[in-house]
Chain A
Amino acid sequence: MTTRKHDRLRVLSSEPAEPEFSPGVDEPPSELDRREMMKLLAAGAGLAGVGSLAGCMEEPRERIMPRVTNPPELTPGVPLSYATSMVIDGFATGLLVQTYEARPTKVEGNPDHPASLGHTMTYHQASVLDLYDPHRARGPLEAGTPTMLDRLLRNIARREPMTGLWFLMHPQSSPLLADLIAAVRQRHPGTRFAFHSPLDRRQVYEGARLAFGRPLEAQYRFTQADVVVSLDADFMGAMPNSVRWAYDFAQRRRLHGPGGQMSRLYLAEPRPSPTGSLADHRLPARPSEIALLAQALLSAVQGATAPSGNLTPRQQRWVQAAASDLGSRRGRSLVIAGDRQPAAVHAAVHAINQAIGAIGSTVAFTEPAILEPLGDGLPELASAMQSGQVQTLVIVETNPVYTAPPELDFPALLAKVPETLYAGDMLDETARQCQWFVPLSHYMESWGDARAYDGSISLIQPLIRRMYDSVSVWELVAAFAGDEQPDGHRLVRQRYADEAADAGLLTWQKHLQLGVIPNTALPPQQVSAGAGAAPPQLSGAGSSFEVSFEESPSVYDGRFAANSWLQELPKPHTKITWGNAAVVSPATARELGVGNEDVVRLVRGAFHVDLPVYVLPGHADRCVTVELGYGRSAGGPVAEGVGVNVYRIRPPSPASHASPVQVIATGGTQRLAYTQKVFDQHGRDIARYAEAAFYQAQPQFTEAQRGPLPSWLPEFFENNYQWGMTIDTMICTGCSSCVVACQAENNIPVVGKKGVIDDREMHWLRIDTYREISGDDVEFIHQPMLCQHCEKAPCEYVCPVYATQHSPDGLNEMVYNRCIGTRFCSNNCPYKVRRFNWFDYTEDTPKTKQLQFNPNVTVRARGVMEKCTFCVQRIRAAEIVARRERREIQPGEVATACQQACPTGAIQFGLLHHNGTNVVEWRKEPRAYAVLHDLGTRPRVMYLAKITNPNPELDD
């Protein structure tokens, strides 16, 4: 302990430049301040990784297992990756974190982990930035004054048995935590644990209980499903197992040839989601209408001839078509409901799956990985606080002061509690109102465990020694269980002592290396939706306005609001960054007489918020979608004041949507920062798409956009060692995981809201989204757009100083220190993928943030152009290894960051002579094409046209 104290003091004293508490705690930061902070968090100054923070470059004291099986000694400059897991609302996703000298720099998916299979979501990619956030709390506070963590924990551990002790935390699945909770209950009888997240899944388990009599978790097997009907389920973007499901779905979806089979997706949802952009029949429906559709679908598959009333003709056709497809493919189809849908809808969906023989074939049920899925929640806690039964309240991670429904008036309730302790990573809204504050360790600093969605036990091992004076959830709870010196490593080893014992230490190490304990997935249960448990009548939909509350694809429920990468991430369909909007359909916008950036007021009873409008075709009419997680009033300069806090009008239940709501145009306007303004192709055949039938009839429909063009220029690149990329747009959901991955890998700075408004965002990889509108239907085509590495690159010959030129292996190279910034290359780039350092975006990067930099990628200075390099640093690293081993580069040896992250595997990269690899075979498919082929630039990136598979019966 003494050594640690010593370290900690060094940590605290190492950066006098930065205050212990984030600036702006007292006063809201001015625009300038935020811009400055933006620069701080924006990627960084020259010496990537050189600047070091005393005390945190060392390995953790405990022995942790590197993933590599050859000796784990650190070789400076040679990265090691370790398996660990990131937990969101209880569900673990296995990750491999790349570290340089025990300094985590990049997150990848863990191929051995069932919830990842080597891929990740945006949140995982960006989590490494949180670790280095200079505004993380650095030590415990007692009523605002710093105190000693050890003493605090010791005092907690020595407390006499308490009465009225309550815990409020995110949903948990950790077996270790389960034990600790039991221990706490034993030591402090009557202790109650309330599990709460703003994006609760309670209704899911409630629905299962309605259908099966007990809470269960549905395990979908999309690889087996020819027909998928989704009722407001964004199962490829926003659900606990999305990474895995996206991959599975893509396996069944991707077409290999004109004649091939592909799955069909029916989907009803209020606003276009990543999953929605792949739907063959996307039905815009207000949240409340989903219930009706579920009802109608149920009766349809049960053979009721007359479809239930109060459905529009379009909805009825949709239901009929879906029902007949489901029925005709018994056992090869499934229906899935969105987590936020009320229990009744889930129950109905279970009944449908029963009826179409999905249960047991395409859907299995297991015990939930989550602890106490139907246990106490926020409402129970609130009523207990109201009645003064809560003596001591321990809030972990979750931020109720910010997220609780306004009816509860949580701050007032909190005031009634004599003793409050908050554990979190930042001094956020709740922390400000609690007596005690304990900094929570980042998952890359903690030992722990959690279950994946399918129940597999995933291990969490630290990648870096604790940077600040913090504890993990397990340690905190352990303290309450009487552990005076809680130590995550010890706790985990004790919990898994038996595995280690009976299988031997080596096996335990193997588990750590894998990051997951094999064969711990929860067993499928024999269930059947008892006919007795007929779903209750679903409430009909009114015609009044509804507000639909969605988690933000960027900042989730607000917990990632301090992450500048996620804040600047363009949202899949709106391309909005740095804020949220009131998203409405064109018809609704006309009805309200508003357009983009006009401010509307959403009024629910006594509560209201003002947001700028964003008009999104394909959105349900008379419905407003708002994203949670913005308008933070505390939690770091990056988070504060960005967007609008819509929790202020969010009802307690159902939390998914509010109705009736008044929508009033205030007449004001407010700038939104979006990265794409025009979504119409203007008939230019940039992003190609076709229906499967058409593709079968005319496989060569993209012929004009590939193949050689006459040119009087000589032929270069005769050698067959050439790099190329192939992107299949038919399985791109636009989730943008690749964008964050690229940002993390390549030290790409963020420019802030003003920067984006000025069209100066720096992303090397962007996702262009085109909307093809025909009648009611909107086809969304996502086209990841990055440097095309043209063989006849227009950018190259206009550079007066050879700052950009071609490498013999076909890369379009950027020589930063030769660039003088004429920007002619950008003008002459038809794809507009080049980015320019208008200011010095990197000079003020704080030391902590510098630790994240990829030491193999130059940090760009002011006034130079930059762009995608095909992750040249990875290519060269692989080449060095290959040369040392006297061999050729093997297929699949080099993966770009975007390729690695992509959940559906839509991006493929490699050498063009490696026949048999996806990158080569895919571009041989007839639907391959090059963007702007007619310009003769000979892009090295080939795209595959998006193919949809609509139901012939349903031609509207």
Chain B
Amino acid sequence: MADRMLAEYPSEAAIVHAIHRLREDGYVDIEAYMPFGSHVVEHALDRPRSRLPIAIFVVGICAALGAYLLQWFLVAYLYPLVVGGRPPHFPLAFIIITFEMGILFSGFAAFFGTLGLGRLVRLVDGVQGTPGFDSATRDRFWLEVSMRDPAFDPERTRQVLADAGALRVEIPEGSP
């Protein structure tokens, strides 16, 4: 059953204009689809900054600490063998693997964090399949208004979107 309304706009400028219109009309639950990461649009939507980097940082630090501890445990604690007269606990030598592991796991965090927060790795998202929506990854900008938005009214909203210069307004079928 339908739960949102989509409108197609020809350009960055047009969708930004539309977003402003809607916000003036008190719409809050709006979303945009765009062929490239336009910070202009994002700015218009006025969303908080992503917290992903903090998560990545934490993961990275933990990984690095873990790596150092592992090295110390294996080489200095479990088997303090004499090689080349080096001391068993040898920070100088441990530092590199510590660093690399930090990087490696930050990388994982960044990648999988994006997939998770972006709700990716899925085949159905409720907007795909909307007639003409393919253009969203090509050169068109689509604006989404949730029907749960208090300000939503099928007729008026459609009107507002159209007035804002929408090329077409669609209601996607079979949303999840």
The residues of A with any CB-CB pair to B shorter than 8 Å are 711, 713-714, 716, 791-799, 802, 804-806, 808, 938
Contacts and interface: CB of A to CB of B under 8 A. Distances in A.
Contacts of B79: 802
Interface stretch (B25-33, B54-62, B81-89, B111-119): B81-89
Given A792-B84, A793-B84, 10 more contacts: A713-B85, A793-B85, A794-B84, A795-B84, A796-B82, A798-B84, A805-B81, A805-B82, A805-B83, A806-B85
A799 B81 CA distance: 12
A-side interface mostly: loop
Nearest to A806: B82
A796 B87 contact: no
A712 to B, nearest CB: 10
A713 B86 contact: yes
Contacts of A799: 83
18 contacts: A711-B85, A713-B85, A713-B86, A714-B87, A716-B85, A792-B85, A793-B85, A795-B84, A797-B83, A797-B84, A799-B83, A802-B79, A802-B81, A802-B83, A806-B81, A806-B82, A806-B85, A938-B85
Interface in B59-103: 79, 81-87
A806 B86 CA distance: 11
Nearest to A938: B85
A380 to B, nearest CB: 68
A714 B80 CA distance: 13
A732 B85 CA distance: 32
A794 B86 CA distance: 10
Interface string B118-156: 000000000000000000000000000000000000000
Contacts of B85: 711, 713-714, 716, 791-793, 806, 938
A802 B80 CA distance: 11
Nearest to A715: B85
B87 A806 contact: no
B79 to A, nearest CB: 8
Contacts of A794: 84
Contacts of A938: 85
Contacts of A795: 84
Contacts of B82: 716, 796, 805-806, 808
B81 A797 contact: no
A792 B84 CA distance: 4
Contacts of A711: 85
A713 B87 contact: yes
A832 to B, nearest CB: 17
Contacts of A791: 85
Contacts of A808: 82
Identify whether the interface residues of B are mostly helix, strand, loop, or mixed.
loop
Max chain A Cβ within 10 angstroms of own Cβ: one of B81, B82, B86, B87: B82
Contacts of B81: 802, 805-806
A793 B83 CA distance: 7
B97 to A, nearest CB: 12
Contacts of B84: 792-798
A714 B82 CA distance: 11
- Output the residue of B79, B83, B86, B87 with the most chain A CB within 10 A: B83
A801 to B, nearest CB: 11
A634 B2 CA distance: 98
B98 to A, nearest CB: 17
Contacts of B87: 713-714
Nearest to B88: A714
A796 B82 CA distance: 8
A802 B84 CA distance: 11
B130 to A, nearest CB: 56
Nearest to B83: A796
A716 B81 CA distance: 11
A808 B85 CA distance: 11
Question: Which among A792, A795, A798 has the highest number of chain B CB atoms within 10 Å?
Answer: A792
B172 to A, nearest CB: 57
Contacts of A793: 83-85
A829 to B, nearest CB: 12
A791 B83 CA distance: 9
A834 to B, nearest CB: 14
Contacts of B86: 713, 797
Contacts of A796: 82-84
B140 to A, nearest CB: 55
Nearest to A794: B84
A464 B74 CA distance: 51
A91 B86 CA distance: 54
A727 to B, nearest CB: 23
A711, A713, A795 interface centre (most CB from chain B within 10 Å): A713
A856 to B, nearest CB: 24
Nearest to B93: A797
Contacts of B83: 793, 796-797, 799, 802, 804-806
Contacts of A792: 84-85
A802 B83 CA distance: 8
Contacts of A714: 85, 87
A564 B145 CA distance: 90
A793 B87 CA distance: 13
A711 B79 CA distance: 24
Contacts of A716: 82, 85
A795 B85 CA distance: 11
Closest 5 CB pairs of A and B: A797-B84, A796-B83, A792-B85, A806-B82, A796-B84
Contacts of A797: 83-84, 86
A460 B99 CA distance: 70
A805 B82 CA distance: 6
A603 B24 CA distance: 114
A94 B84 CA distance: 43
Nearest to B86: A797
Contacts of A805: 81-83
Nearest to A711: B85
A787 to B, nearest CB: 14
A808 B80 CA distance: 12
A805 B87 CA distance: 13
A721 to B, nearest CB: 15
A711 B86 CA distance: 11
A388 B83 CA distance: 76
A207 to B, nearest CB: 60
Name which of B79, B83, B84 has the most chain A CB atoms within 10 A of its CB: B84
Nearest to A807: B82
A713 B90 CA distance: 10
B7 to A, nearest CB: 61
Nearest to A791: B85
A765 to B, nearest CB: 23
B81 to A, nearest CB: 5
Nearest to B85: A792
A203 B85 CA distance: 61
A72 B106 CA distance: 71
A880 to B, nearest CB: 23
A805 B81 CA distance: 7
Nearest to A808: B82
A804 B82 CA distance: 10
A667 B86 CA distance: 56
B76 to A, nearest CB: 13
B59 to A, nearest CB: 27
Interface centre among B81, B85, B87 (most CB of A within 10 A): B85
Nearest to A713: B85
B124 to A, nearest CB: 48
Nearest to A792: B85
B157 to A, nearest CB: 66
A799 B84 CA distance: 10
A793 B82 CA distance: 10
A806 B88 CA distance: 13
Nearest to B84: A797
A94 to B, nearest CB: 43
A237 B87 CA distance: 48
Interface string B152-165: 00000000000000
A802 to B, nearest CB: 6
A797 B84 CA distance: 5
Contacts of A798: 84
